[in-house]
Amino acid sequence: MSAVSTASPRPSTVGAPVRLQKSAAATTWSFLRANPLALIGVTLVIFWVVVSLTAPWLVPFSPTQQSIPDRLQPPSAAHWFGTDQLGRDVFSRVLYGGRLSLPAGIAVIVIAGIVGTIVGALAGYIGGWFDEVLMRVTEVFIAFPTIILAMAIAAALGPSLINAILAMVVVWWPNYARVVRALVLSVKSRDFVEASAAIGTRRTRILWRTVLPNCLAPAIVLATIDLGNAILIFAGLSFLGLGPPPNTPEWGRMIADGIEYFDQWWIAAFPGLAIFTVVMAFNFIGDAIRDALDPRLRKTL
């Protein structure tokens, strides 16, 4: 007679990843519902990303198409946002402007964040004279107002899209260097870091695998908030003629064109509204991420 197994069957784990994924999605949705401003910010960012990506299929006219008989026309059924001084459709140019302003702002923050994180991490972890030299260089850049230094560098390099981005990266990385350095100094003296050093782990591995991952949360919050500021300053450089060429559909340049025709309010109002909504959206998202990563604020919410 065969023996009957009395062991209970092992629970299936096939659906575990799905349950975890649903739990994460449910948690995110619950947090957004508890933070209306964060939900507004996410909605606006998604809207502008989708509109910018699909702009070639949404615009009724080419953003560079000129029509002198249609110049300075107010908003109408034919031209929803009116036309500018050269008869170009403002609605088409606003939608295409997102294809330039959004990637430019993201590029500035990503490059500046990587450079600043590396500099700050090395300065805080190595310490000594190396830390002193890097921090004195950082303070030289921080001593100047961001927009003034960016204008000076962009003017020296010459007006172009790439030069405007490079100028902003040069003035932006010190912010991340200071934040990451302070975080590394506070983390590297903790027990788990000393335990890694005690078992013979290499210093480079401790820095990049143990110390730095525990310092990224505040840097991510700073980067999210800075996205709006980067788009704003990029628009400011374009407004001053230090960005892309004049015919390029870019929000800051469009506002500069509208200043010359102040009576035709629609030329500057609609690109200004686009900048306002994007900057506001990233600020809302940055505040929400800060609340989510702060245990005290998350418990209160």
* Residue 68 within any structural domain of the chain: no
Q: How confident is the model at residue 108 (pLDDT cuts 50, 70, 90)?
A: very high
User: 52 near 106, Cβ under 8 Å?
Assistant: no
* Residue 139 within any structural domain of the chain: yes
* Residue 2 within any structural domain of the chain: no
246-259 mean pLDDT: 87
Measured distance CA(272)–CA(254) in Å, rounded: 9
Q: Tens of pLDDT along 114-151? A: 999 999 888 888 888 888 888 888 888 888 888 888 88
For residue 244, the model assigns a pLDDT of 86
- CATH no. for residue 164? 1.10.3720.10
* Residue in the block written with tokens 């080419």: 62
User: 115 near 179, Cβ under 8 Å?
Assistant: no
For residue 25, the model assigns a pLDDT of 65
3-state SS of the chain? CCCCCCCCCCCCCCCHHHHHHHHHHHHHHHHHHHCHHHHHHHHHHHHHHHHHHCHHHHCCCCCCCCCHHHCCCCCCCCCCCCECCCCCEHHHHHHHHHHHHHHHHHHHHHHHHHHHHHHHHHHHHHCHHHHHHHHHHHHHHHCCCHHHHHHHHHHHHCCCHHHHHHHHHHHHHHHHHHHHHHHHHHHCCCHHHHHHHHCCCCHHHHHHHHHHHHHHHHHHHHHHHHHHHHHHHHHHHHHCCCCCCCCCCCHHHHHHHHHCCCCCCHHHHHHHHHHHHHHHHHHHHHHHHHHHHCHHHHHHC
* Residue 20 within any structural domain of the chain: no
Q: Tens of pLDDT along 46-69? A: 999 999 899 889 888 888 888 877
pLDDT of residue 300 exceeding 50: no
* Residue 7 within any structural domain of the chain: no
pTM over 0.85: no
Q: Tens of pLDDT along 172-220? A: 999 899 988 888 888 887 777 777 777 777 777 877 887 888 888 788 8
For residue 211, the model assigns a pLDDT of 82
Lowest mean pLDDT among 7-21, 103-117, 264-278: 7-21
Q: Tens of pLDDT along 207-225? A: 788 788 888 878 888 888 8
* Residue 269 within any structural domain of the chain: yes
* Residue 46 within any structural domain of the chain: yes
How many folded domains does the chain comprise? 1
* Residue 71 within any structural domain of the chain: no
Residue 290: which domain range?
Answer: 32-58+80-300
For residue 63, the model assigns a pLDDT of 86
